[in-house]
């Protein structure tokens, strides 16, 4: 038998779920980053929930901050299908709305199968994402060129660069004005850099912060 718990206290949710998620920090980085970012924030549309066994052990975790997708974690063991079937049924019964799901490919496939049956909808894969964990650094070899922060002088080309990047990666495309504002936000908060070798070659940005590292995009 399983029990679903819905949380309104972000600190309690963090206290109960973070130790479980940190067992695989790289794979669970979206949930972890969300918990750390919003731990002192009261959000009306924030979905936080766990599925626990009769012994009180966490079997699955869900989290969503509107308008982002629902993040799912579940223990991959022999009871995984039972747990995700229970979770899917709870979400249908309680009308917990979400526009998309993010998580381990196998877990998402299992959850989507049950949810689509209970809700009578057809799931569709939007994209596949890979997570790479950096475990060792090779000796640094200095490359030609230099790394520098993005500045307002880059606004003449970066909105176009971002548009082409979205097309190449099959992401939803933004308008040039939306890209312009996104680049202005990046410049204001200084979290992205350009590598240039006579001319701009590549761009990198600091992403989500979690306990023992951060995402680099």
pLDDT in tens, 39-79: 777 666 788 999 999 999 999 999 987 667 889 999 887 78
Instruction: Compute CA distances 67 → 26, 97, 114, whole Å.
Output: 23, 11, 23
Q: What pLDDT, on the 0 to 100 scale, is given for residue 153?
A: 92
Q: What pLDDT, on the 0 to 100 scale, is given for residue 38?
A: 76
- 5-9, 101-105, 158-162, 206-210: the lowest-pLDDT one: 206-210
Residue 195 has pLDDT above 80, yes or no: yes
Q: What pLDDT, on the 0 to 100 scale, is given for residue 157?
A: 92
Predicted structure pTM score: 0.71
* Per-domain boundaries in the chain: 2-119, 146-216
- Domain 2-119 in this protein, CATH class: alpha beta
* Average of per-residue pLDDT across 111-118: 93
Longest alpha-carbon distance in the chain:
64
pLDDT in tens, 130-184: 777 777 878 878 888 899 999 999 999 999 999 998 888 877 888 999 999 989 9
Q: What pLDDT, on the 0 to 100 scale, is given for residue 78?
A: 76
Question: Between residues 73 and 213, which one has the greater pLDDT?
Answer: 73
Residue 198 has pLDDT above 90, yes or no: no
Instruction: Compute CA distances 129 → 102, 105, 126, 169, whole Å.
Output: 9, 9, 10, 11
| Cross-sheet strand order for the sheet of 146-149 | 146-149, 192-197, 199-210, 213-216
Residues 6+ positions from 119 with CB-CB distance below 8 Å: 92
pLDDT in tens, 90-101: 999 999 888 888
């Amino acid at each position: 038998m399983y029990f679903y718990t819905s949380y309104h206290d972000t600190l309690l949710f963090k206290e109960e779920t973070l130790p479980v998620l940190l067992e695989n920090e790289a794979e669970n980085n979206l949930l972890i980053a969300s918990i750390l970012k919003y731990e002192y924030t009261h959000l009306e549309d924030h979905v936080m929930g766990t599925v626990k066994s009769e012994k009180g052990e966490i079997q699955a975790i869900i989290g969503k901050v509107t308008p982002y997708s629902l993040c799912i974690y579940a223990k991959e063991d022999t009871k995984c299908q039972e747990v995700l079937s229970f979770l899917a049924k709870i979400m249908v019964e309680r009308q917990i709305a979400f526009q998309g799901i993010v998580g381990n490919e196998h877990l998402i496939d299992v959850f989507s199968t049950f949810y689509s049956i209970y809700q009578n909808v057809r799931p569709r894969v939007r994209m596949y994402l890979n997570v790479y964990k950096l475990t060792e650094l090779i000796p640094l070899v200095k490359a030609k060129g230099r790394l520098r922060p993005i500045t307002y002088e880059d606004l003449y080309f970066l909105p176009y660069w971002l548009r082409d990047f979205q097309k190449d990666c099959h992401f939803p495309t933004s308008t040039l004005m939306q890209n312009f504002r996104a680049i202005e936000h990046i410049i204001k908060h200084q979290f992205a850099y350009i590598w240039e070798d006579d001319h701009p070659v590549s761009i990198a940005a600091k992403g989500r912060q979690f306990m023992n590292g951060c995402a680099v995009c």
